[in-house]
Amino acid sequence: MTNLKQLLKEKQPNAEALAAYLDALPVAEQVAQVRTLSPGLVKKMYQVTAGNAPCKLEDIVPSDVDAGVEVRHKGINSLPVSRLFEKRFCRSPEQKNHFWGYNQQPLMWLTGPGFFVVNEPNEDQLFIDYRSVPNEKIEKWPNIQPNEKGVSKLVYANMQDYMRKVSSRVTVGEACKKGKSMNQFFALVRLEAGDEETPLP
């Protein structure tokens, strides 16, 4: 039976086939399959989707979601350790096309939450921007911390995650610092807005 890994391992993976396959699965199965990808296949997904339509703000937080309502994205990265994580987003109460977010992951006690903002892109590729942080705390989120202090500085300072759309719920990103690729990639699956599932440890 075909699965996401097999589609990405084909000699010439097809971005449209990836989207159709993922969109036909229940959300939980999309999460399960995305989270089985090896680091190499996460990177390959980013490469395969280079010709897709640009990722839009509504792919991250749907346009009908109210300000301050959390939208969770289950993710996997291409790092050698601590690969499972979440990015959690919400629409800013201040501006409709301005999002806030942070990273929920097991090493958050060490690296910090990695707060970020997302704005309407002024270039073709939407990016998550760690050079700015939210102006105020959202209920249930960690206390806002800068990304330029302690261990957080090594991980998040001056970073931008450039995003590509894979399917209606799945996006893939590449981490860059000061405009240079870090050769680190991740894939996300958007859950329903307001989902209160138990967070990752």
SS3 117: strand
Burial of 69 (0-12, 13-18, 19+ CB in 10 A): middle
Total residue length of the chain: 201
* pLDDT value of position 194: 63
Specify if 200 maps to a domain: no
* pLDDT value of position 123: 67
Specify if 197 maps to a domain: no
Q: Evaluate whether 159 touches 106 at the Cβ level (below 8 Å).
A: no
Q: Which domain holds residue 42?
A: 4-190
Domain count, the chain: 1
Encode the chain (201 residues) as per-residue pLDDT tens digits.
689 999 999 989 999 999 999 999 999 999 999 999 999 999 999 999 999 988 999 999 999 999 999 999 999 999 887 889 999 999 998 888 899 999 999 888 888 899 999 988 766 789 999 999 998 889 889 999 999 988 889 889 999 999 999 999 999 999 999 889 999 999 999 998 767 664 543
**Helices 15-23 and 39-48, packing angle to 10 deg:** 110
Specify if 63 maps to a domain: yes
Specify if 139 maps to a domain: yes
* pLDDT value of position 201: 36
Compute the distance between CA of residue 174 and CA of residue 182 in angstroms, rounded to an integer.
8
Specify which residues 74 forms β-bridges with.
Answer: 86, 189
Specify if 199 maps to a domain: no
